[in-house]
Structure 1
Amino acid sequence: MSAVKAGEEMTAGGEANETAVRYWDYLRDYRRHREELLAVVDSVLSSGRLILGKRVESLENKFSLYCGARFGVGVNSGTDALFLSLKALGIGEGDEVVTVANTAVPTVAAIRSTGATPVFVDVEPDTFLMDVRLLPQVLTSRTRCVLPVHLCGQPVDLAPLQEFAELEGVEILEDCAQAAGATYRGRRVGSFGSIGAFSFYPTKILGGYGDGGMAVTSCETLYRKLKRLRFYGMEGAYCSEEEGYNSRLDELQAALLDFRLGLLEEEVGRRRAIAAMYSEHLSGVGDLVLPAEGKEREHRFYLYTIRTSFRGELMAFLAEKGVETRVNYPTPIHLMPGYRFLGYREGSLPVTERLAGEILSLPMYHDLSDHEVWRVIEEIRCFFARDLPSITRPA
């Protein structure tokens, strides 16, 4: 009997039956690396040290070096990586932080947690990333920081952003949650701003088996402040040097992430191969607009997000065919009820709002099989079937 391909299951009668193509799933990866992962867990649990030990220190050193920064500070989430970074930069009441509205709520929640006010700027229509050219329009005397989000796995246009920040005397804090390892002009994100903030949430490009985050910086003063802030403001035992918080990356997650860091480039290579398959066979299909890779930017494809005016119909069609898709951030933050107090109205960010009605993210993770990718491609082409030439799936 021939082997059952990924994305198929056996029926009671013995024939193969196609199952859902999952939007994201870690279980195949876990089964493949199970023995290695359990050995990592056992080594930590047998060590006698569970909090702020050698595993955290090792990951901080390796990951900051990987990013091109001198220092890393492990914390308990990507949200805290942003929040503590803003605190380390001295951001607080009365300050304004410029960011985008087509991001996860934590980006803005972190700003609000400091007491500062988020100010939104529109995005580029092709990359969905902060339109740096618009920054002068939102600059005020209270602007202290620009917080670019490297959305979907691709860097913001960082050279003009750095020029703007230097000219205006504002800080740059990079939200790198979706773009670990992505490069701009050959240099990795997280090394351009004063601080780079990363999330290790399980779905991320470098994801753990729980929550976690890290802030990286090349400034020793900021590094020492971040270390104090994550541990009640302490440098020694039982004595707080300043008001701080409890936000520690634990030894277990650090050790698991250290293991996963060694697999990262291979896994990103697979993501890019999947993206290339999508792009080759969905180009020119219907009214689809495919992801654009900006000049001198490397896209790591945390998400493969298409645009179509038939999003609702396509999403429902794919769901019926067993293909899971997602709309990442269907409501821009400036239009959410929870942030109505900021005073934005519909039409304030026209590009952001238009994109929110058109974007659809396809299945994208390194363990997708070619068979599953082809299923996604074929079902989308079937939806837009009129006047499309047929394609032949490779054997």
Structure 2
Amino acid sequence: MKVNFLDLKAQYHAIKPEIDSAIQNVLEKSAFAAGPFVKAFEENFAAAHNVKYCIGLSSGTAALHAALMAYGITSGDEVIVPANTFFATPEAVSLTGATPVFVDCEADYYNIDPDRIESAITKKTKAIIPVHLYGQPAQVDKIKAIADKHGLLMIEDCAQAHLSTLNEQSVGTFGVCGCFSFYPGKNLGAYGEGGAIITNDEALYNKIMMIRDHGMAQKYHHDLVGHNYRLEGLQGAILDVKLKHLDTWTNVRRQNADCYRTHLADCSDVIVPQEMPGVRHVYHLFVIRTKKRDALQKYLADHQIYTGIHYPIPCHLQKAYDFLSYKAGDFPITEEYADDILSLPMSEQLNEEEIIVVSDTIKQFFN
């Protein structure tokens, strides 16, 4: 049986009439750049996360960059980020001219280790960006306390964590803002690129609204140098349709994660993901660990089971950051996991039969 890593076509066909109607409405009204369809989505996405404001943007990277810009992060500043994350997190810091300062991840949950943050703080530190990796909240309650103690901003990278909660509070609401991605493969994915920032800060909302539109609050009156970071009308309409299904889809993902755990429980060669107490993990990815990762991935592919690696090279060891002079061994947990992690098929289209096939094939490999 072929098991895709993700099946966006199946997701589309499951909601095809709604999607087609939404796209047709945008075409008929010709509201392509920001506009009413984006505004409707922004209001609904804010409500889903219990915040006052949402700004639709062109990508998750744009969201991070715009948030940092809005707070004046610039050359000479430092921003603390996880070593274990997608490259966009430190990249957004670098786009402002500031320097990303990496911190290793915790062993159990893959997110930035709060106990290692304070040793990375210097007089140049202006902000901390915790990432809710794979859909599991970072320990943002602890990290916020550290940020407050040192007078730092906390900007949450929620790119993989739509509708995720810690102690029943939505991610993106612990710090000054939360930055989301709607890349097509995300739990809430556009049909192209997209992102958003959520916040309860009206002044921040107004500033980012200007940043996303060339620094304009009024047409052709440019109060600051911004970017063309607007979310497209088509994407806003598509995301608004999908948002109505997201809670149900998330519950299916959580059930699928439990199903994987059940069927892999007797496979001692594999470490399955743990959930931190008090969280709603939304399982953007279901990431296992094994010392035979590469061989297992090939074996699964040979059996038409398709997987991913998130991520094979830690950010601090990427060529782009050679100038920061990090070296192998600086962040041992992140580096060890980069060799061991494997993302199994995970989506709301995945069914128990497919999970059993994946799990049995993994056990066959080890036997």
Shorter-chain TM band: over 0.9
2:83–2:112 CA contact under 8 A, matched in 1: no
Cα distance between partner residues in 2 of 1:268 and 1:48: 32
Cα distance between partner residues in 1 of 2:147 and 2:225: 28
The superposition leaves residues 330-350 of structure 1 with CA deviations (integer Å, 9 ceiling, x where unpaired) of: 000101111111110111001
Question: How does the TM-score come out when normalised to structure 2?
Answer: 0.98
Residue 306 of structure 1, aligned match among 288, 293, 296:
288
Residue 74 of structure 2, aligned match among 92, 95, 100:
92
Cα distance between partner residues in 2 of 1:150 and 1:64: 18
Match of 2:344 in 1: 362
Cα distance between partner residues in 2 of 1:77 and 1:312: 31
2:109–2:276 CA contact under 8 A, matched in 1: yes
User: Counterpart of 1:238 in structure 2: which amino acid?
Assistant: Y
Residue 211 of structure 2, aligned match among 229, 236, 239:
229
User: Counterpart of 1:99 in structure 2: which amino acid?
Assistant: V
Correspondence 1:235-274 to 2 at 5 A: 235-274=217-256
Match of 1:183 in 2: 165
- Larger-gyration structure (1/2): 1
Residue 93 of structure 2, aligned match among 108, 111, 115:
111
Cα distance between partner residues in 1 of 2:32 and 2:319: 40
Question: Alpha-carbon deviation of 1:284?
Answer: 3.7
Correspondence 1:30-49 to 2 at 5 A: 30-49=12-31
Match of 2:107 in 1: 125
Match of 2:52 in 1: 70
Match of 1:381 in 2: 363
127-136 vs 58-67, greater mean Cα deviation: 58-67
SS of the residue 2:15 aligns to: helix
Match of 1:165 in 2: 147
Match of 2:315 in 1: 333
User: Counterpart of 1:26 in structure 2: which amino acid?
Assistant: L
Question: Alpha-carbon deviation of 1:382?
Answer: 1.2
SS of the residue 1:46 aligns to: helix
The superposition leaves residues 16-63 of structure 1 with CA deviations (integer Å, 9 ceiling, x where unpaired) of: xx3x21111111111222222111111111013222211111111111
Where structure 1 has 5 or more consecutive residues not aligned to the other structure, the ranges are 1-17, 386-395
SS of the residue 1:227 aligns to: helix
Cα distance between partner residues in 1 of 2:64 and 2:162: 15
Residue 270 of structure 2, aligned match among 254, 272, 288:
288
Match of 1:320 in 2: 302
User: Counterpart of 1:315 in structure 2: which amino acid?
Assistant: Q
Question: How does the TM-score come out when normalised to structure 1?
Answer: 0.91
Cα distance between partner residues in 1 of 2:164 and 2:61: 20
Match of 1:53 in 2: 35
Task: Please say if 1:352 is aligned against 2:334.
Answer: yes
Match of 1:392 in 2: none
User: Counterpart of 1:143 in structure 2: which amino acid?
Assistant: T
Q: Percent identity?
A: 38
Q: Which of the pair is proportionally richer in helix?
A: 2
The superposition leaves residues 96-132 of structure 1 with CA deviations (integer Å, 9 ceiling, x where unpaired) of: 0000122111111111000000000011111100101
2:272–2:287 CA contact under 8 A, matched in 1: yes
The superposition leaves residues 120-171 of structure 1 with CA deviations (integer Å, 9 ceiling, x where unpaired) of: 0011111100101111110100100000010000000111111111110000
Cα distance between partner residues in 1 of 2:266 and 2:289: 12
Match of 1:12 in 2: none
Cα distance between partner residues in 2 of 1:145 and 1:60: 26
Where structure 2 has 5 or more consecutive residues not aligned to the other structure, the ranges are none
After superposing on structure 2, the runs of 4+ consecutive aligned residues of structure 1 that deviate more than 3 Å are none
1:23–1:324 CA contact under 8 A, matched in 2: yes
1:125–1:355 CA contact under 8 A, matched in 2: no
2:263–2:359 CA contact under 8 A, matched in 1: yes
